[in-house]
Amino acid sequence: MYFLFYIAFSISITCAAIIFKFFKNRNKNYSPEYLNLVKNFTLKTGLIFTFIQPLLFVISFISSPNSSLSFSIFITGGITLALMLIISVMFYLMYKDSQTNLGGATVLVFLLLAASLIRADQLAFETKNQVNLYEQGKSYIAHIDKIKEEAGVTEVVVISGEDIYNAKCIACHRFDTKLVGPAYNDVLPKYEGKRDDLIAFILNPRKINPEFTAMPNQGLKPKEAEAIADYIVKTYKEAK
């Protein structure tokens, strides 16, 4: 679906570029009949594919793996769809009212759309990569633990989520008060039943709420992230 979307995108931007080339200065190198043929064919084709674009984009977006989706990607996707709508309106105006002078503006919006698509791809890759790193870290630790167990090596390491909270989190977070970051009581409800998502965010934080600055990476190991996640969720539930 994503490949088909880029085919539709390529045809649409080509149509816009043709309109811009042929009608930017009321080109006199071609006969009126030929220019009329170019205009009708190009605008009809462009109009069709600009209406197909959003449909293919939405289908490919919905079919994306959940591990590659984030709040930022949804925002970028909304901007992308808005730009597609603007392009469709421009093609419709050019087709219905013969406003071929919009060709240059249409090409410019297409370039903004291309930048938005590139950014969406980057965000999806970064999100997916963060999740993969977390899963690989868990697998590595489980593998090491298995080797130690088979070798008869016993190692008891107690990681205190409360100690980590007091050392790294308390300066910016409280459960019922907004500080540098949001109150836990406001954000933890969306992570109920989603322990892995909370741990993944702690390991690789990203900006979600525009009211607050992005949380810096605390350099925690997977086990430490699990400990702090379990601690704050447990404390939140007990208080509730």
Asked whether residue 134 carries a pLDDT value surpassing 70, the answer given is yes
Q: pLDDT band at residue 156, thresholds of 50, 70 and 90?
A: low
Q: How far apart are CA 14 and CA 107, in angstroms?
A: 9
**Residue 154 pLDDT more than 70?**
no
pLDDT at position 83, please?
94
Give the largest CA-CA distance in the chain: 88
Give the CATH fold of the 157-239 domain: Cytochrome Bc1 Complex; Chain D, domain 2 (1.10.760)
Q: How confident is the model at residue 67 (pLDDT cuts 50, 70, 90)?
A: low
pLDDT band at residue 179 using 50, 70 and 90 as cut-offs: confident
Kindly report, residue by residue over 69-90, the tens digit of the pLDDT: 778 888 988 999 999 999 999 9
Q: How far is CA 230 from the centre of its chain?
A: 27
Task: Look up the pTM and report it.
Answer: 0.53
| 160 Cβ contact partners less than 8 Å away, ≥ 6 residues apart | 227, 231
Q: Answer yes or no: is pLDDT of 41 > 90.
A: yes
pLDDT > 90? residue 13: yes
* CA torsion, ordered 148, 149, 154, 157, to nearest 10 deg: 70
Give percent of the chain with pLDDT exceeding 90: 23
